[in-house]
Every structure is written in structure tokens, then in C-alpha cells.
Amino acid sequence: MQLSKKIVVLGHFGVGKTSLIRRFVENSFSDNYKVSIGVHITKKVVEFEVEDTMSLILWDLEGTDDIKTIRDAYLLGTHGVVFVFDVTRPSTFQLLNSDLDIVKAKLPKTPLFVVGNKVDLVVVSELETLFKNNNIKTNFLTSAKTGETVEQMFLELAKLIK
Amino acid sequence: MLKKFQQEYATKNVQFILIDFDGAILESDQAFLNINTKGLLVDIHPFFECFFSIKDMLDDELIFNCVHLVVDQKEFVTDIKFLKEEEGILVIISDYTSHYVAYQAIAQTRNESIINGELITIKNAELEERERFKNIFIRNFSHELRNPLTSIISITKIISNTDLTSEQENMIQFLQESNANLKLLLDDILSISMISSGRLKLTENVFSLSQLFELIEFTYKTKAAGKGLKLEVKVDKKIPDYVEGDRLRLYQVLTNLLDNALKYTHEGKITLNVQFNQKRANKVNMRFEVLDTGIGISSDNYDAIFESFNQLNNLNDNPGSGLGLSIVKGLLNLMGSTIKLTSEMGKGSNFHFDISLKQPLQTTNPILKNKKVQKSSKIISDKKYRILLAEDDINVQTVLFKLLLNTGHFYIDLVNDGSLVMEKLINDEYDLILMDINLPNVMGDEVTRLIRDFPFKNIKKIPIIGLTGYSFEDDFASFKKAGMNAVLSKPFDDQDLIDLIFKYV
């Protein structure tokens, strides 16, 4: 039976969680913002080498401005976490470190990637100052719109949890 | 009978699936999901992959709310409950699609409005930052321009008083006109900057409207005649003589409108019409109209002409900064009024605004009428005065030396560093200090504070006139607060400086 791992994608609303998954799974993007409620689950088989594949079960969780309210049931059996914020909206990363503490408390020892999305809308060099001022450390800066580092990010996580 | 109906209706939205402990489907009532009853639970949808991680920790029951399932290309939004039974695990899937779709619509509206609000706040902050940067730039830029301009204006004046050939005289006249235009432009830029940064404050005093109109009529009749135009000032008889308001800013509004009319009118006449609208409590509401028979403005351009640096007809015969009308708009906004325009291409324009001004209870003001009398009265004296000039700009030093020495009334000592002022004052006696603000080492306002705190009366009380390239009113106020008797903005008028010196020595 094929190896199957669960990745939850979470963060504030409107940061582009659904778009990141859609870019990764279908290689498509839409500018229309549709609010996700509850959870959408999709599956993507990734191939590391010939006959070395893994099923990623991607849980796209409803965005919330209060990470504490995430339903614990959604997190059961999670192997990897992607925490997404929107680099253009400070409200989505101002409390990033305390949000991450909450996630880590809920999912101790689970690999976690911090991802700043929508980088196509900003000048990356300006972000460095912004992150430094807000004491933010990211694993990846992505753009679901252009596809920049989206696949790379999911594949890195897949390797990590393999 | 009833049971049949109950089964028909009550169970349609809830599906029961029984699986064994390895996830193989044992039974399904197929209420709304048509699944393979001989297959595996995970084959229904990737959601059920979670079964393997939860089956061992399942004690009693576990529920997942609002799970999106796509089965046979149809999407359902469901609550899914896992119940541990003796025979296996019972999976109960409740279809709440319509309920969740309604909830989604509410969440959509809420989230969109929050995000839009955030983006507007960010956009506004960016605009404010850009505006702030622009104002700081303009302020520093105009400050830097003032010193050289002061030198140019004063030296031109000094040269104009020497023996010149007629050709040189013509050139000097041209130079003086250019200087005056440059100074006006600088003043306009500063006005715009002050209005947009909110630093311009209105100063309300009682003043005579009739005197204001007389001044305008006199000035603009001459200007209009120079272009072969007529100028008429029509004032409603019900307009009171004295009102309370910012005379300077009202004058600025009217002269900007008249200058604009003059600029774009090549034949016919220009009219300033002042009408009485109404009087409520102690406030008089009036309409001011500036009408011309000029080239007119197309209605498409009505908004554009009030924006900064926007000249519709950027031709050589229409000089100016293009800031006049935007100053008018800004000043009137400050005064609680709005500039309005009607115009017809080729026939002319009518700029008008309504404004309310307080009518003072006492309608005659002797102070106002006698204001012009006291000018330069002390200059007749032969006495010579000692002045300490604290200024580091060599051009301004030269100009002031020439200007003051030419009057024959002053001895001048110079320091070019703020830290040297006190030493000079202790060793010598002075009647007045001319103090630049931007002095090296110790700023002029700081030196002034030291002087005012000095224990010896003869030093403590020396009159100080500040000279500054800054021209914002709150800068002036802070310099005066530091102890300066008066502050003069560069470039200054020679006579204004001399009058001011005589006022304090």
C-alpha cells in the first residue's frame, strides 16, 4: 500500500491557503477569492524517484484570525504543517510567533513550515526589513499566483516527513 | 404507514456505513452517497485516509464538522461521526450542504469586508507617508533656496542703485522681475505644502472688507489696464464694512482668482462681484464671484484645474506655477467653503464661492484705520547702532553688510558660529542681534534661549531678530518662544528688515 501522509495548511483567512494547494495539485490559479469553510481535503501523489512515491493528503483548513479556534479533530494524525501568512497584510503576521506557539502546542514535534505568500505583490528586499522588525522567520516565500516556490515548498515538506 | 414516510424523509440526509476494523465496508444504506458497498472506506474520498490514524485512538465516538466530500463529481458539505461498535465502526455522514452554503455566504461577506478595510488602511498609510515625505522635501528644498534667493534679490537691488547704462538697467529690471516671480513661486509651493500638511492655521482678526476691496481694485485695475482689459469691482450695499476672519487668506484667494482670470483673458473685462446672501446669528454669508471673458474651460477639466501643478494651457504666454487654483481650493476648504466653477469655452468663466464670516459687534475699529501711520519714523535719527550679525552664509553676510552699512546708521560685528555669540556679547555691547537660525554648532534659537537666561540685564534684554529660511508659522512661533523679538523669513524685503531693526533698537 502506498505511503500516505497528512499535511494541514492553516493560517488567517485570505492568505491564499486554498490557492497554494490548487497551484500545487492542479497547477492553476484564480484571482476570485472564495472563503473556505470547514475543511477541504485533496490528494496528490508525489514521486521522489522511480517507484518511490508518496500520497500527500492535503487538509485545507478554514482560515481564522484566532488560531486557538481550530478544531482539534482536524489535526489528528497530522504529519506536517504549513502555516501561511499574507506578506501584504500585517494583520496576518503581526502575531505570527504567538500563533506558531499555539500550533506547536497542539502539534508538538510535527514538522512545520512558515510560508509568506503573495510575494509577487511586494519588493522582496523590503520584506527583509519588515520581517526583521517583526522578528519573523520564514521557511519559504511563495506566490500561488506565479507559482514561485510553491511546488518546492510542498516537496521539501514531503521529504522531511517521509 | 407513518414509519414508511418517516424512513422516506427522515433518513435522506444521513448515511450510515458500517466498516470493519481494517476499513472495509460491510454495509451502507446509500441514503445520499452512492458508494461501492464492497470496497474500502478510503476509496470514497481522501478524507477517509484519516481513518487509519484515528482507529486506534477511537474510544467511543469522534466527529468531524464541515467536511467537504466530492463523490461522483457532486460536492457535499457534511458532518462525519465515527462510532466504535462491537461489530466494527459505524460511520454516520450527515449532509448539511444547504446550511453550510448559507454560512459560507455570510463568512464571504465578513472576510471580504475585513480584508478590504485592511487594504484601504494600508493604502492610506502609504499615501500619508508619501505626502509626508513630499512635504518634508518641499520644506527643506525651499529652505535651501531661500538663502541664495535672498542674496540674488538684495544684490540686484544694490546694483540697481548704482550708475547703469540703459541696457544694463533693462537687464536689471528683467532680473528683478524674474526674482519676484521666483519668490512668488517659492511662496506658492510653500502655501500648497502647508495646506496639504495641515500646518496652515487661519488667523482671525477684525478687518475692513471695504479697504480690502479698495486695495484689490487699485492693484488689479492697473494690472488689467496693462493688458488692455477692464476691471470692475461690484460690492452689494448690504455687505458689512467690518468682519472677522483671516484677511490675508481671503486676499490670497481673491488675488489668485483674479490673477488666473487675467492670465486667460485677452479681451473684454474681469469682474469681482460680492453679493450678500444672508445673515444668521452674528454671521454674514456672502458670495464672491470672479467673472472673466476669457478662453473658458471645458467641463471635462473642471476638476483637473484645481489639482497641483496643472496648467491646461501650458503656453509661453501663460506663466505661473499652476498652483494658484489649488491654493484657492485648499484655503477655501480651510475656511469651510468650496470653490465652484461654471464656464463656457470661448466665452469666459465664473469662479465663485460662498463664505460665512463673523460680524463683530463693534463695527468701527480705530486701530485698523491708523495702522498705516507708523512707518520708518525712527530712521530720521542720526544715532548709530551696534549690531551683531550671527550668520554663516557668506552671501547673506555680504548682502546684509552692504544693506546695513549703506544706511549709515549701523556698526556691524560678525560671528559665523552659534557657539561664539555669547563670548561676543560678554566682551562688547550691542543694540541688537540679527540671528540666523541654522547656525553651526549651536542653533540660533538655542543661542537665544541662553541669552534670555543670562543673569546680566544688558545682555538678557538685547533685542534679537531671527532670520530663517523656514517659513512655517509654527516654526516662527517656536523661535519667538525661544525669546526672539521678531522673525523674518528669507528672502526678506530690505525695507522690512530696516523697519524692524528700527522698531527694536
CATH fold of B205-369 reads Heat Shock Protein 90 (3.30.565)
Residues of chain B with CATH 1.10.287.130: 101-196
CATH of the domain at A90: 3.40.50.300
Is the pLDDT at A88 greater than 70? The verdict is yes
Which residues of chain A neighbour B100 with C-beta distances below 8 Å? Answer: 37-38
Touching A: B residues 62-91, CB under 8 Å? 62-68, 77
- Interchain proximity A37–B57, CB inside 8 Å: no
pLDDT of residue B5: 66
Provide the strand spans (E) within B136-282: 205-208, 230-235, 242-245, 269-280
- Interchain proximity A35–B108, CB inside 8 Å: yes
pLDDT of residue B142: 79
Contact by Cβ (8 Å): A40, A60: yes
Nearest to A37 among B46, B63, B66 (CB): B66
* Minimal C-alpha gap between A147 and chain B (Å): 23
- Interchain proximity B103–A89, CB inside 8 Å: no
Is the pLDDT at A140 greater than 60? The verdict is yes
Contact by Cβ (8 Å): B51, B23: yes
DSSP-derived 3-state class of residue B383: coil
Residues of chain B with CATH 3.30.450.20: 12-95
Assigned architecture for domain B377-504: 3-Layer(aba) Sandwich (3.40)
Is the CATH number of domain B12-95 3.30.450.20?
yes
DSSP string covering A89-157: -GGGTTTHHHHHHHHHHHSTT--EEEEEE-GGGS-HHHHHHHHHHTT---SEE--TTT-TTHHHHHHHH
Nearest to A33 among B66, B112, B122 (CB): B112
- Interchain proximity A88–B45, CB inside 8 Å: no
- Interchain proximity A55–B45, CB inside 8 Å: no
On the CB side of B377, CA atoms within 13 Å amount to: 6
Interface test with B, best of A40, A44, A92 (most B CBs within 10 A): A40
Q: H/E element holding B456?
A: none
Chain A: residue nearest B81 by CA? A73
pLDDT of residue B494: 80
Touching B: A residues 78-107, CB under 8 Å? 88-91
Helix intervals (H) in B379-441: 394-407, 421-427
**What is the spatial distance between Cα B398 and Cα B390, in angstroms, rounded to a whole number?**
12
pLDDT of residue B372: 42
Residues of chain B with CATH 3.40.50.2300: 377-504
Domain total of chain A: 1
How many residue contacts between A and B have a Cβ separation below 8 Å?
Answer: 74
pTM of the model: 0.59
pLDDT of residue A1: 60
Structure-model confidence comparison of residues A102 and B420, the more confident one: A102
CA distances from B149 to A6, B174, B180, B309, B391 (A): 73, 15, 10, 22, 16
pLDDT < 50: residue spans in chain B: 314-317, 365-379
ipTM value of the model?
A: 0.94
pLDDT of residue B8: 58
Which residues of chain B neighbour A21 with C-beta distances below 8 Å? Answer: none
- Interchain proximity B50–A6, CB inside 8 Å: yes
Nearest to B47 among A33, A41, A71 (CB): A41
Residues of chain B with CATH 3.30.565.10: 205-369
Domain span holding position A63? 4-161
Is the pLDDT at A83 greater than 50? The verdict is yes
Nearest to B46 among A37, A57, A63 (CB): A57
**What is the spatial distance between Cα B8 and Cα B114, in angstroms, rounded to a whole number?**
44
Q: Does A126 touch chain B (CB under 8 A)?
A: no
**What is the spatial distance between Cα B464 and Cα B503, in angstroms, rounded to a whole number?**
11
